[in-house]
Amino acid sequence: MRGRFTIKKSLNFEGIGLHTGKPSRITVHPAQGGEGIVFRKGDVEIPARYEFVSQTSRRTVLEKDGVRIETVEHLLSAMYGLGITDALVEVEGEEIPAMDGSSLPFAEAFYENLVKQEGEIQPYRLMLPEKVEKDGRRVEAFPSDELTVSTAIRYQHPFIPSQFLELTITPETYLREIAPARTYAFEEEVEELRKRGLAAGGSLENALVISKNGYMNEPRFPDEPVRHKILDLLGDLALLGRPFVGRIMALAPGHEIHVEFVRKLAEEGAGGPVVELDEIKRLIPHRYPFLLVDRIIHMDEKRAVGIKQVTANEEFFQGHFPHYPVMPGVLIVEAIAQVGAVAFFKKFGGDGKMAFFAGIDEVRFKRQVKPGDTLVLHIRLLRKSSRMVKMEGKAVVQGQPVASGIFTAIIADIR
Ligand code: ZN
C-alpha cells in the first residue's frame, strides 16, 4: 500500500492551449483521499481515467457527456510523477494551458504544496510481462520493485536519428530530470500540424523546435525530446488511476499506444494484490493432487488472475499420457474455476460455504498444455446473486489462449 497525496490549497494556472491556441484557465483544488483525480467543467465531472479518452492524435483528450478537455497529459504527468492521487481540476476553456510546454510550472507548484492525507492506495504492481505493439511503436513492461521507464525514439532526421533514456521515477527525479522537458516539433511538420488544426498555440515560447541543423531554441537538456516522451508516457499512465510499479520500456511511443497499454493493464493485466498458497488453502478445500492454483496475482471488482505451474510431476501425467504427457482439458477448466472460487470467497467471504459447478458452457480448447507450461488463469465476473455466480474464464500460456468457457456455480452452505 502507498500513501495518498493531494495539495494543501487551490492553485491557479492560466495561459493558452498548445493545440487550440485559445486562452484557458484551470484551478487545481485539494480533494479527499479516495476521490482520485477528476476534471470538472461546468457541471460535468470527468475522472482522469483511460475509459474517457476520446482522441490521442498529438495530445490526449478526455471527453464525457459532450464535454471535452484537451491536452491533459502534461498536468497529469506532474501529478503522477509527484505521487498526487487526489485532486479536482476545474477547467475554464477547452484545453489545459500549455504554460512553457513542459510540466515544470505545475510540478513545482504541486511539489511545494504536496500534502499526505488519510487513507492508502493499492499500487498496480505488475505481476506478468505485458506488451502492446502497433506500427513499429511498442510499449513493454516487466515486473520490478520500482517504477522505471526507459524510452527510445528514432526518426529519419539528420539531427535526431535516435535518443534513449532510462530513469527510475521518484518525485525528486521527476522534478529534476523530466518535468522541465518541453514538448517538441520538427520545423518541417509545423505547417502540416497547423493544417490539421493542431499546434495553433505552439511557438518557440512553449515548444522546442528542431530543424535539420539543430535545436532552433535553447534546449534544456541535450536529449530534451526523449525526456518529454517519458513525461508524456507518465501523463498517460496516470489514466490507470493507481500508482504503477514495474519496468516500462517504450520504443517510439505516442499517446495512442500509451492509452492502449493502460487499457490492457486495466482490463487484461495482472497487477496484484497477491493471494498466496496458504491463504488459497483457507479459502477453498482442494488439496493435492486436485489443488490446481498456486497463486492469485490480480484481483479487482470484476476480474481475477491466477497462475498454475504445470510440472512433469503432476499426478495426472502418470495416466494422461505416460508417453505423451498432456494436461487433461477438464482439469484446465477446473483450474480456471478454482481461481474463480478463491477470488469469490476472498471478496465475499467463504466461511461454511463451498462452490459447485451448476453449468459449463461454450468451452473451447485451443492448444495442448504440457509439462513446463505456466498456466495463466483469467476469470471475469458476469453475474452474481447470493447463491449463484456466473463467470467467464480463460487459460493462457505465453500469451496464447489454451482454453475458455462460461462457468456457473452454486454457492452451498456445508454446515
Ligand atoms: Zn507532451
Predicted local confidence at residue 197, as pLDDT: 83
- Residue stretches of the chain with pLDDT short of 70: 415
Distance 229 CA to ligand 1 centre (A): 7
Distance 267 CA to ligand 1 centre (A): 25
**Residue 264: how many CB atoms within 10 A of its CB?**
16
Rounded to 5 degrees, φ, ψ at 178 are -115, -50
- Compute the distance from residue 30 Cα to the ligand 1 centre, in Å: 24
Spatial distance between the Cα atoms of 284 and 307, rounded to a whole number of angstroms = 16
pLDDT tens column, 84-94: 999 999 999 99
Between CA 285 and CA 18 the distance in angstroms is 59
Per CATH, is 277-413 categorized as 3.10.129.10? Answer: yes
Q: What is the pLDDT of residue 143?
A: 97
Rounded to the nearest whole angstrom, what is the distance from the C-alpha of residue 180 to the centroid of ligand 1? 11
Domain ranges of the chain: 2-268, 277-413
- Quote the pTM value: 0.94
Active site residue 320: yes
CB 206 within 8 A of CB 100: yes
Distance 182 CA to ligand 1 centre (A): 7
* Span from the CA of 402 to the centroid of ligand 1 (angstroms): 40
Query: Which neighbouring-strand residues pair with 341?
Result: none
Task: State whether residue 348 is helix, strand or coil.
Answer: helix
Q: Choose the catalytic residue: 29, 157, 286, 320.
A: 320
- pLDDT recorded at residue 157: 92
Q: pLDDT value at position 202?
A: 87
Give me the CATH topology for the region 2-268: Ribosomal Protein S5; domain 2 (3.30.230)
Rg (CA), the chain: 24
Which residue is associated with the grid cell 481475477? 304
Which grid cell sits at 142?
A: 516487466
Q: Which residues, chain by chain, have CB under 5 Å from ion ligand 1?
A: 183, 232
- For position 401, what pLDDT does the model report? 97
Of 19, 74, 228, 255, the catalytic one is 255
If you measure from the C-alpha of residue 73 to the centroid of ligand 1, how many angstroms do you get, rounded to a whole number?
7
Whether 228 is a known active-site residue: answer no
d(CA 108, CA 128): 34
